[in-house]
Amino acid sequence: MTNPALVTGAPVSVPRRLAGWVVAAVTVAAAGLFALGIGNPLRLGVLERYFFDPLFGMLLVGLAGYLALWLLLPIRNEAAQGRRIVARVATLVLAGGGLVGWGIFGVFFNQEVTEVAQSSDGSRALVEVVHANNPFRYELRVWNGTGLTAREAGSLGEACGGVQAARFVTEDRVELDTTYGTWQFDLDPATGAPQQVLGPRCPDGPVPARMEP
């Protein structure tokens, strides 16, 4: 009688193994980035823009994980390779949970981030964030830094009706054209944190930002 543990087929080819390791690395990196994107404790702009939705992250990581397992650990004998089957099922459960959750609750996580102004030296940017669950909510945030190191320095608040135009007057001052007026906001020279924010009512101009204790 043949020992099922010995019936495992030919070894995985080198190209397939390399492709599998690439997919596995991408899967691990994506899982880490989506995990960091929950709450975004580092306040990184790249996480806020691309890795904000954990449910979509579950779907993506589950599918990528399944592909990595299919490439690296093919199932040629179900009796001898039951653990591989369990691993594949686990990735499909993760992807399925992410798909269902994303379909039902994804609107609460989805947001569109658009850069509306940049300082002359490129070290700061003003972005407009529109939340899918409230498309009439236009939040303005200041990013400090460039590229992958750009971090959120603070929020100017929500502009009623959105922003018609925005510009950096200097590196430490931004100007907004809104439906209710044109206003300027000072930024901290060191951190870029806004020193004023939009008032609580739509016609209100800038008011002093609250200082954390």
Q: For residues 54 and 26, what is the distance between their CA atoms, to the nearest angstrom?
A: 16
pLDDT for position 2 = 47
pLDDT for position 18 = 96
Residue 38, both tokens: 């929950």
Q: For residues 8 and 78, what is the distance between their CA atoms, to the nearest angstrom?
A: 9
pLDDT for position 64 = 98
Q: Which residues pair with 186 in a beta bridge?
A: 173
Lay out the sheet containing 134-144: strands in order across: 111-118, 124-131, 134-144, 151-158
pLDDT above 90 covers a percentage of the chain that reads 61
pLDDT for position 69 = 95
Torsion angles phi and psi, residue 145, rounded to 5: 110, 180
Q: For residues 124 and 73, what is the distance between their CA atoms, to the nearest angstrom?
A: 46
Longest dimension (CA), the chain: 86
Torsion angles phi and psi, residue 78, rounded to 5: -65, -30
Domain boundaries in the chain?
A: 4-108, 111-208
pLDDT per residue rounded down to tens, the chain (213 residues): 445 444 556 788 999 999 999 999 999 999 999 999 988 888 999 998 899 999 999 999 999 999 999 999 998 877 778 899 999 999 999 999 999 999 998 888 888 899 999 999 889 999 999 887 776 778 999 999 988 899 999 999 988 888 889 999 999 999 999 888 899 999 999 999 999 999 888 888 889 987 543
pLDDT for position 213 = 37
